[in-house]
Chains A and B, each alone.
Chain A
Amino acid sequence: MLAVSVLLVTGSTLAGCSGETSWKTEVLTSMSVKINTVLPNNRLVHHNTKLRTERVSLYYGTFRALKDISLDIPEHAITAIIGPSGCGKSSFLRLFNRMNDLITRARVEGCVELDGVHIYEKSTDVVELRKRVGMVFQKPNPFPMSVFDNVSFGPRQHGRKSRGELGDIVEKSLKLAALWDEVKEKLDQSALALSGGQQQRLCIARVLAVEPEVILMDEPCSALDPVATLKIEDLMTNLAANYTIVIVTHNMQQAARVSDMAACFLMDPDRSGVLVEYGPTSQIFTNPKDKRTEDYITGRFG
């Protein structure tokens, strides 16, 4: 309950903020940030908090993989999670669609919210949650079936049956994922025949077909060449207007290029992942407040 009331207070404070002409970033607490951005057309966009964690810890058996992470992730923006290998970035990402449920010994403590609703309640419908929070994996993982069947998989499972309706969804999703022109002639061919970059965009299209609100990306470009990477980054930038995107990346340049917000994770001495610093990407990369962030970003370790 405490978490909810804090959120309400935060919201009302910001309602006042956005009414003013200021578009600069407001840092409310050390890790809770509200951002306003100016789009190219000078429209002022106010970002609400979409995802939120409050003192979240994740355990695998007795090992504490994440320690007391509190983070507000803004809506319709790209938030990057950076940090060295093994610091729990992916585990953190998987909190939001409860993929950690698939690991039998995983246990979550603390509060994880989507639109202000705790998603680790007994009453949470995990299937419904995963429809709202899609995920793109590190290695492209198209199913061994046709391009069409891959993209229409989600809608088919969720009850849309007519071929015409599915065809529209597939075309729309592939266009959104900037893949339509490359595959429109081979919708009936196996998805495994596509190139790695095409496969990854197919996986993004597959997620888009379910019409999620949030897209989680777990190092989506680490298996791709620079050209394919650039295409995915352009795609992310375009999608950010309508989707909340959270991306885990090892690539500092990528985080700097695409993200609006950046969170830096590190491993504390007992090997648990901790959040070191969180703020607008420009600030994290040009003027980090924490010495450890600076060391990591400048490549002194990690």
Chain B
Amino acid sequence: MRFSEKIPGRVLLVIAFSALSALVLITVFIFVEGVPLIARVGVFNFIFGMKWAPSQGAFGIFPMIVGSLSVTLGAIILGVPIALCCAIFLTEFAPATVRNAIRPAIQLLAGIPSVVYGFWGLIFVVPLIRNYIGGPGLSILAGSIILAIMILPTIISISEVSLLALPPPYREGAFALGATQWQTIHGVLLPAARSGILAAVILGMGRAIGETMAVIMVLGNAVAMPSSILDPARTLTTNIGIEMAYAAGEHRQALFATGIVLLVMIMILNSVAQYALRRRQDER
């Protein structure tokens, strides 16, 4: 091969690696900044410590891990059933005209900036909870509701794709055995698409756990351990978002260490999602 023919490949290679190097750079930076603090405080004390008081040298992020997990779990509990129903409706019931109207609308949902979600949550959802359910309104429940809406597009799109990817003979076979449409969906299609749907849910979780702006605005951000879903809480992401402006020294290292925990959690979720998607391909 002549040298001039090799140029495009080489140039693309360099550019592709520069994207990858950004990931490496950020990861290395976070670890270099954060690991010394974790080493000093101890992994166990850092992750399971109940007290976060940087000015007193107390760096325990367990309440925030609980906050992140509970908000995410709440978003999944509220969002997944709606998203699944929506995906099933779009693939199995909706006539083409309705489908073509709903699908772009859902994609638009993904395009709304998260600060707008947060603002709407603060003005609309938070007072609703305060007035009709109780507590200060700024709460895990409010965060869960906002995140549930934010993860809908992700879960709907991926579930829809995995339902559409099922071979038509599954559908025909079930109908030919005298199954009703609902029995076909429930008995054949959903089980057949379950790994794709699982991947959709996990990717939705990743999105929920990483969301910061909208959550800061509706969650109340108290560092104490929440005792109910009506209590305010703080997540790992909001901890960084709120304190980064004035943190210095050990405090700043602790925020980077929070970032490490977050990164590891999201990496685990993404690997599980990848595994689920790959299993779906193997089943074919």
Bitwise interface map of A from 147 to 178 toward B, beta carbon under 8 Å scored 1, else 0:
00000011011100000000000000000000
B101, chain A: closest CB distance, angstroms: 18
Contact with A along B175-211 (1 / 0, CB 8 A): 1111110010001100110000000000000000000
Decide: A143 and B192 in contact? CB cutoff 8 A.
yes
State whether B169 touches A137 (Cβ < 8 A).
yes
Q: A210 touching B177 by the CB < 8 A rule? A: yes
State the majority secondary structure of interface residues on A. Answer: helix
Whether the pair B169, A139 counts as a contact (CB closer than 8 A) is: yes
**How close is A223's CB to chain B, nearest CB, in angstroms?**
11
- Is B174 an interface residue when CB atoms closer than 8 A count as contact? yes
Q: For residue B183, which residues in chain A have a CB less than 8 angstroms away from its CB?
A: 157
Using a Cβ–Cβ cut-off of 8 Å, how many residues does chain B contribute to the interface with A? Answer: 19
Q: Is residue B134 within 8 Å, beta carbon to beta carbon, of the partner chain?
A: no
Which of A139, A157, A192 contacts B179, CB < 8 Å?
A: A157
Q: Which residues of B contact A129 (CB under 8 A)?
A: 178
Most B Cβ at <10 Å: residue of A102, A129, A139 = A102
Q: Which chain B residues border A192 with CB–CB below 8 Å? A: 283
- Complex: A156 Cα to B177 Cα, angstroms: 11
A134 touches B177 (CB 8 A): yes
Q: When the two chains form their complex, are residues A102 and B172 in contact, meaning their CB atoms are under 8 A apart?
A: yes
Residues of B within 8 A of A134 (CB): 176-177
* Most chain A CB atoms below 10 A, which of B167, B169, B178: B178
Contact yes or no, A143 B173, CB < 8 A = yes
B182 to chain A, nearest CB (A): 10
Q: How far is the CB of A289 from chain B (nearest CB, A)?
A: 34
Question: A137 touching B172 by the CB < 8 A rule?
Answer: yes
A297 at the interface (CB under 8 A from B): no
Indicate the member of A97, A154, A206 with the most B CB atoms within 10 Å.
Answer: A154
Chain A residues bordering chain B, tally (CB within 8 A):
27
Minimum distance in angstroms from B94 CB to a CB of chain A: 13
Contact with B along A185-209 (1 / 0, CB 8 A): 0000000100000000001001100
A143, B188: Cβ atoms closer than 8 Å: yes
CB-nearest residue of chain B relative to A209?
A: B177
In the complex, which residues of chain A have a beta carbon less than 8 angstroms from the beta carbon of B177? 130-131, 134, 153-154, 157, 206-207, 210
User: Which residue on chain B has the smallest CB distance to residue A145?
Assistant: B191
Residue interface bits B17-59, CB-to-A below 8 A is 1, else 0: 0000000000000000000000000000000000000000000
B residues in contact with A153, CB < 8 Å:
174, 177, 179, 187-188
Q: List residues of chain B with CB within 8 A of the CB of A139.
A: 169
B27 to chain A, nearest CB (A): 38
CB of B170 within 8 A of chain A? yes
Q: In the complex, which of the residues A130, A144, A156, A158 contacts B176, with contact meaning CB atoms closer than 8 Å?
A: A130
> Is the CB–CB distance between A99 and B172 below 8 Å?
yes
A174 to B175, CA, bound (A): 21
Measured between beta carbons, the chain A residues less than 8 angstroms from B187 are 153, 156-157
Interchain residue pairs A-B with the least CB separation, the first 5: A141-B169, A131-B178, A130-B178, A135-B176, A154-B177
